[in-house]
Amino acid sequence: MKATVYVTIKQNVLDVQGTAVQGALHSMGFEEVGKVRIGKYLELELDTNDKAEAEARVKAMCEKLLANTVIEDYRYELA
């Protein structure tokens, strides 16, 4: 089973990296770019066919390592 995990900075947290990328894009002539938010994309191959088990394990991985839940949100998809 494959898990796709998306980790993003919470909306109420200043995204310094996103602001830097926005400024760089503007300086390169891409003035149409508005707010930029930076995140992480992960693909995990799981050795299970049990969807409930996979969900529980991916959630635990996100809570313990993949996302800093104080300042980041996460979501995942299983396929």
Q: What is the pLDDT of residue 28?
A: 98
Amino acid sitting at position 40? K
Cα 68 to Cα 34: distance, rounded to the nearest angstrom: 26
pLDDT in tens, 40-54: 999 999 999 999 999
Binned at pLDDT 50, 70 and 90, residue 67 comes out as very high
pTM attached to this predicted model: 0.88
pLDDT in tens, 3-42: 999 999 999 999 999 999 999 999 999 999 999 999 999 9
Which residues partner with 44 through β-bridges? 3
Q: What DSSP designation does 64 have?
A: I
User: In angstroms, how far is CA 74 from the centroid of its own chain?
Assistant: 6
Q: What is the pLDDT of residue 33?
A: 98
CA angle, corner 15, sides to 4 and 71, nearest 5? 65
